[in-house]
């Protein structure tokens, strides 16, 4: 398996890197291991984390990023953090875990996978019938490794369901990074592209560079190049022209949160790409697993949008690019209305909204 597909894993005390549970794995402590995405494309550096502050910090500064990857890192990270708690009564263990889980879930607000994963592992630990803190730690780790193994399966299923959209010779435009780096395996938006390549189809990708943090140029271009996929980086403001020049057959993007009516939050700039695609009559697909759907929200109005520091815009290229004293507005995500989205590539097939009653999974 390529290194990019291991952006989030569990590393045991004996040094073995694992992507699922086994009796041997559950009986020893470990850490979450993430590929530090802030160092790419220049350096491949891994972080191993078993403390809460560094875990929150890694998520906030986008060392680990992308909705499913954040969820996996949070689940595994919480298991590593709790694994180091001193001996506690079961009640005190639960109290401390709830408090740490709440801090972790608040690290970034938009991708629902983060709070979904934290809530899920705590819920499964509570339902495990653990009789003491040692059993509770084991149940928590089992739940976290299950989230990881499930994400790997979800990526494959999304890839298979998106594959029929990609014929030999097609060109896809994508925005930000919804690939292997953003998940535990093949990615979401990029999964059909990887499977198409494995099936011998030649697919070309235009990657928007994705200002201000350049996830498209630094990450999408890097991982596609590693996989031998033909990738061309463009500045965000070139998407309209490449569509007008008829270079693009299809747009596929990922998602951070999808409301019940299909409104979709994704990286800032996705909305502009969707408007351009509609104008040029190019199909626009969102690829995401069920863990990215927030059916408690009827529409996109309730999706919290993270606002990040303006220095990401004004100092984005390692030097000042705007006058001192000028103000910045830096929303990290936008919401694309459902009417601009052709379909949702999920593990259950290509779906259209509405997605069911509030609280239900797909």
State the catalytic residues.
256
Q: Does 97 bind ligand MRU (CB under 6 A)?
A: no
Tell me how far, at minimum, the Cβ of 255 lies from ligand MRU, in Å: 6
Tell me how far, at minimum, the Cβ of 236 lies from ligand MRU, in Å: 13
Tell me how far, at minimum, the Cβ of 203 lies from ligand MRU, in Å: 18
Q: Does 68 bind ligand MRU (CB under 6 A)?
A: yes
Long-range contacts of 48-52 (CB under 8 A, 24+ apart): 48/11, 49/77, 49/80, 50/77, 50/80, 50/81, 50/83, 50/84, 51/81, 51/84, 52/77, 52/81, 52/100, 52/103, 52/104
Question: In angstroms, how far is the first alpha carbon of the chain from the final one?
Answer: 30
SS (H, E, C) 290-348: HHHEECCCCCHHHCCCCECCCHHHHCCCCCCCCCCCCCCCCECEEEECHHHCCEEEECC
Tell me how far, at minimum, the Cβ of 229 lies from ligand MRU, in Å: 17
Compare residues 254 and 262 and give the one whose CB is closer to ligand MRU: 254
DSSP character at residue 102: H
Select the residue interacting with ligand MRU from 273, 332, 340, 341 (CB under 6 A): 332
Q: Which residues pair with 33 in a beta bridge?
A: 9, 48
User: Which position has the token pair 């979904």?
Assistant: 116
Q: Does 52 bind ligand MRU (CB under 6 A)?
A: no
Q: Does 218 bind ligand MRU (CB under 6 A)?
A: no
For residues 150 to 189, the per-residue mask of contacts with ligand MRU, x marking binding by CB under 6 A and - elsewhere, is: --------------------------x-x---xx---xx-
Select the residue interacting with ligand MRU from 122, 267, 334, 341 (CB under 6 A): 267
Chain contacts with ligand MRU (rule: CB under 6 A): 62, 65-68, 111, 176, 178, 182-183, 187-188, 215, 254-256, 266-267, 332
């Amino acid at each position: 398996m390529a290194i990019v597909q291991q952006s989030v894993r569990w590393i045991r005390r004996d040094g073995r890197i694992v992507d699922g549970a086994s009796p041997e794995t559950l009986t020893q402590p470990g850490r979450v291991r993430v590929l530090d995405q802030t160092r790419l494309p220049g350096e491949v550096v891994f972080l191993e984390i078993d403390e809460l502050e560094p875990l929150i910090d890694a998520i906030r500064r986008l060392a680990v990023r992308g909705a499913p990857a954040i969820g996996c890192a949070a689940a595994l990270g919480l298991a590593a953090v709790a694994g180091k708690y001193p001996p506690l009564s079961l009640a005190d263990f639960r109290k401390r875990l709830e408090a740490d889980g709440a801090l972790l879930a608040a690290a970034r607000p938009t991708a629902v996978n983060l709070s979904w994963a934290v809530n899920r592992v705590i819920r499964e630990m509570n339902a495990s019938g653990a009789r003491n803190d040692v059993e509770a730690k084991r149940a928590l780790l089992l739940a976290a490794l299950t989230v990881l193994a499930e994400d790997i399966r979800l990526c494959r299923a999304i890839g298979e369901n998106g594959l029929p959209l990609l014929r030999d010779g097609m060109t896809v435009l994508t925005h930000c990074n919804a690939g292997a780096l953003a998940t535990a395996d093949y990615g979401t938006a990029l999964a059909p592209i990887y499977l198409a390549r494995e099936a011998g189809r030649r697919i070309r990708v235009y990657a928007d560079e994705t200002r201000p943090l350049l996830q498209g140029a630094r990450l999408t271009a890097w991982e596609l190049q590693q996989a031998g996929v033909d990738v061309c980086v463009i500045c965000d403001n070139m998407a309209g022209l490449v569509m007008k020049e008829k270079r693009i057959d299809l747009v596929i993007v990922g998602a951070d949160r999808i409301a019940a009516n299909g409104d979709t939050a994704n990286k800032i700039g996705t909305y502009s790409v969707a408007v351009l695609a509609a104008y040029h009559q190019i199909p626009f697909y969102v690829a995401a697993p069920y863990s990215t759907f927030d059916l408690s929200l009827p529409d996109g109005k309730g999706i919290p949008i993270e606002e990040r520091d303006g220095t990401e815009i004004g100092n984005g290229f390692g030097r000042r690019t705007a006058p001192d004293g000028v103000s910045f507005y830096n929303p990290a995500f936008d919401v694309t209305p459902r009417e601009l989205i052709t379909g949702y590539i999920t593990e259950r097939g290509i779906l259209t909204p509405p997605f069911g009653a509030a609280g239900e999974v797909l």
